[in-house]
Amino acid sequence: MSRMGDVLAGFHAAWEFESDSVLIRYERGIRTPRLFQVLGERRVPLTALESVTLTPGKRGTVVLRAVPRPGADPLLEAADGQLKEGCDPYRLVLPAERETLAEYYGDELRARLTESGPAERFLVRAPRVPLSFKAYDAKASFDGSTVRFRWSWTGASSAKWKAGDQSFAVADLSGVEWRSPEVFEGHLRLIRREGEGASPPHPDQDPAAVVFGLGYGPVHESLPFAAAVLAAVRDCRPAVSVPAARRDPADIAERIRHLGELHQAGLVTDEEFSVKKAELLSEL
C-alpha cells in the first residue's frame, strides 16, 4: 500500500494512512461543519471498513468515501441514516484535478480491507466523555456511567416537572433513540431495560427523553452525546455465553478406539480408561 504516514488532504479533512487504520483529521475552519470540528480526529481501524468508493462530486470535485461496516461506528449507529451528506465523517471531498491521486489511494486502501458484513462490536472509538448539551426542555449530561436530565423552568412539560430531574445508570439502559434536530419532533430518548418494547409516550411527556428545538440540541452536540451513551450501553451488555460446539461423533469414536488400544496395551489403567471414555462420550 501507500507508505505509512502518507496524507491525502481534501476540503475540511485529511486522511493519514497507517498500517492498520486511517487517521481522519478534520479542519477547524469557519466553513468546516460543526460536527467535524467537535470530532477533531478519528482513528478508523481497517477492520471497521468494508469498501471504498470514488464518485463525482459537486462543482468540480470528486468524493472518496470509506464505507464502514454496519455496527462498527457508534456515531453512525446513533445517527441511523439521518446525517446530511455534507456531515458524513467518512467522505473526503477533493478537487476534480486530484481524481487520479484519489483513485490510487482508494485502490490501495480497498486492497487492504479483509472484513465485511455487520461488526459484532463497535470498532471505532466513541466520543470522549464527559459530555453535555442544552435541549429545549432540559440540560443533559453524561459522565460515562450516568445520564442526567435537569429540567428547564421554561421548556419542560408538567409531566416532566412532576417526575423531577432524572438520572439513568448506563446499566439500566438498553439503547438510545436520536431523532435529528433538523427534522420535525427531534429528540433524544433513552430506552430502559425495564419496560423495553412498550410503546413510549410522546417525547415531550417522557421523563426519559429530551426534546430539541431551534438552537437546542444541535447535531454537533446531541449526536456525539447519543453515540457516547450508546457505546457505554453496549459495553455494559452481559456477555452472551456460546454453547460449546458438539464434537463429530466419528472423531469421538476414533478417539475411544485409540483409547481402547492403549488400555489393551497396558498403557492406561482400568480407572483411567473409564474416566476418559466417559469424558469423550459427554462431548457428544
Partners of 141 in beta bridges: 132, 148
pLDDT band of residue 241 (cuts 50, 70, 90) is: very low
Q: DSSP states of 41-86 as a string?
A: EEEEEGGGEEEEEEEE-SSSEEEEEEEEPTTS-HHHHHHTT-S-GG
Whole-number pLDDT of residue 246:
58
Band of residue 242 on the pLDDT scale cut at 50, 70, 90: very low
Average pLDDT estimate for 32-39 = 97
pLDDT tens, position by position, 51-97: 999 999 999 999 999 999 999 999 999 999 999 999 999 999 999 99
Q: What angle do CA 12, 48, 67 make, to 5 degrees?
A: 55
Q: Please count the other Cβ atoms lying within 10 Å of the Cβ belonging to residue 48.
A: 21
- Please provide the distance, in angstroms rounded to a whole number, between the alpha carbons at the two ends of the chain: 47
C-alpha span between 274 and 88 (Å, rounded): 64
The pLDDT score that the predictor gives to residue 239 is 46
Copy the grid coordinates of residue 85: 451528506
Mean pLDDT, the chain, rounded, equals 90
Q: Indicate the residue type of 36.
A: F
Q: What is the pTM of this model?
A: 0.81
pLDDT band at 240 (very low <50, low <70, confident <90, very high): very low
According to the model, what pLDDT value does residue 106 have? 96
Distance, CA of 13 to CA of 164 (rounded, Å): 43
